[in-house]
Structure 1
């Protein structure tokens, strides 16, 4: 077995030895499964209005009860999770592509390119994430596409900084200098040496950003600027429950729990991946276990 193979095996063993990480992976697997099958497993149409059965408590017929219009909360939570995860994945994918591109180019070439890119990133960092997202949505108008774009834009600077910092470290490695000496082109060095060696921090940041993207989508939808009715959204469901907190607690508890569990699972997975992909963290954990 080669050194790289042995390292990968040891990393997987370390990851799977953490019960919290394993549980988070299991939870996220269920979330993904729900996302892929929500339209089929939801027992009711999410917009089926049944006013005579409004505000019914959880029962065998309606597992999570019904809302103020008699709609099945369980079905709406399933489809709401689907919508939130779709928005989070698309927006974070946008941030990864654009942010990593900016960060790698700035870190690798340096000079005026680094100065220009990083000043733009610094300006974006000057605004709170949610405030900047609100401004973008307010300008472009509410909706799913706008929400994806707004969240993607506000998380782009984070990936740009992570990619730049990692690139600055990797480009000083001897093997990069050797590649330059033998005449390797920039594209070859970026694809062969830089990108493969900065994947670890980016994977960790992606997991954490997915968690915050779900929260951002819920916040925008709660304010009426995200996913628009009649499409279910967990944030909008919590907003609609405000007038019925004492009468129908389930209207807020179940959507809120779905957000909490999903975000927590992504955060715990990010922590587990950091422990495995960060050599310093991995060494500390292995030393602690050996003692």
Structure 2
């Protein structure tokens, strides 16, 4: 086994030995399965109206109860989770591609290009996250595509800064200088040396950004600017439950619990990945394990 393989195995062992991280990974695995098969495993149609059975509490026929129109809350939570995950993954993927490209170019090239790109990033950072997302949606109109674009734009500067900071540290390494001296093209240097060595912080940031993307989508949908009815959304379900909190608590509790569980799992997984991928945090984690 090579040194790289041994390090990789050690990283996985350190990650899985943390019970909180392992449980978080299992929860996210279950969420991923739900996101892929929600339409299949949902016990009823998300828009099947059954007014005589409206506002029924959780029971054997409706595990999460029914809403004001008699629709099955469990089915709607499952499909809404699928929609939230799809929006979060696509929007964060957009932010990763654009943000990392901007950050790597700025950090690797430096000079006037770095100044111009990072000043644009600083301007975007000057706006609160939700306010900037609201501005984008207000200009382009509500909808799934607009929500994805808005969240992607909001989180692009974060990845740009992380990528730039990591690139500034890697570009001064001796192996990068040797590659330049040998006349290796810049694209090859970026692909072989820069990107692999800045992947750790980006993976951690991706996990954290997915959590905040879920929250952002729920907030936009709660305000009526995200996913539009009749498609279910966790944020919209909480909004619709406001007038029934005292008589039908399940309408708000279960969608809210879904948001909390997913966001918490992503955050805890991000903390676990940081302990493994960050050399300083990994040393501390390994020292703690050795003391037990």
The TM-score normalised by the length of structure 1 is 0.99
1:149 aligns with 149
2:39 aligns with 39
1:279 aligns with 279
2:218 aligns with 218
The 5 Å alignment of 1:84-233 reads 84-233=84-233
SS of the residue corresponding to residue 68 of structure 2 reads coil
- Give the drift of 1:262: 0.4
- Give the drift of 1:36: 0.7
- Give the drift of 1:259: 0.4
Cα deviation per residue 1:169-225 (whole Å; 9 max; x = unaligned)?
000000000001111110110011000100000000000000000000000000000
- Give the drift of 1:288: 2.3
Which segments of 5 or more consecutive residues in structure 2 lack a partner in the other structure? none
Cα deviation per residue 1:230-266 (whole Å; 9 max; x = unaligned)?
0000000000000000000000000000000000000
1:257 aligns with 257
Tell me how far apart the structure 1 counterparts of residues 84 and 285 of structure 2 sit (CA, whole Å): 34
1:80 aligns with 80
Cα deviation per residue 1:74-120 (whole Å; 9 max; x = unaligned)?
00000000000000000000000000000000000000110000000
Tell me how far apart the structure 1 counterparts of residues 18 and 97 of structure 2 sit (CA, whole Å): 30
Tell me how far apart the structure 1 counterparts of residues 169 and 221 of structure 2 sit (CA, whole Å): 40
SS of the residue corresponding to residue 84 of structure 1 reads helix
Tell me how far apart the structure 2 counterparts of residues 216 and 110 of structure 1 sit (CA, whole Å): 33
Tell me how far apart the structure 1 counterparts of residues 43 and 14 of structure 2 sit (CA, whole Å): 40
The TM-score normalised by the length of structure 2 is 0.99
- Give the drift of 1:290: 2.2
Superposition misfits of 4+ residues, deviation over 4 angstroms: none
Tell me how far apart the structure 1 counterparts of residues 210 and 290 of structure 2 sit (CA, whole Å): 34
Which segments of 5 or more consecutive residues in structure 1 lack a partner in the other structure? none
Tell me how far apart the structure 1 counterparts of residues 30 and 288 of structure 2 sit (CA, whole Å): 32
The 5 Å alignment of 1:37-76 reads 37-76=37-76
SS of the residue corresponding to residue 229 of structure 1 reads coil
- Give the drift of 1:9: 1.1
SS of the residue corresponding to residue 198 of structure 1 reads helix
Tell me how far apart the structure 2 counterparts of residues 247 and 178 of structure 1 sit (CA, whole Å): 70
Give the superposed CA RMSD. Answer: 0.6
Cα deviation per residue 1:142-194 (whole Å; 9 max; x = unaligned)?
00000000000000000000000000000000000000111111011001100
1:18 paired to 2:18 = yes
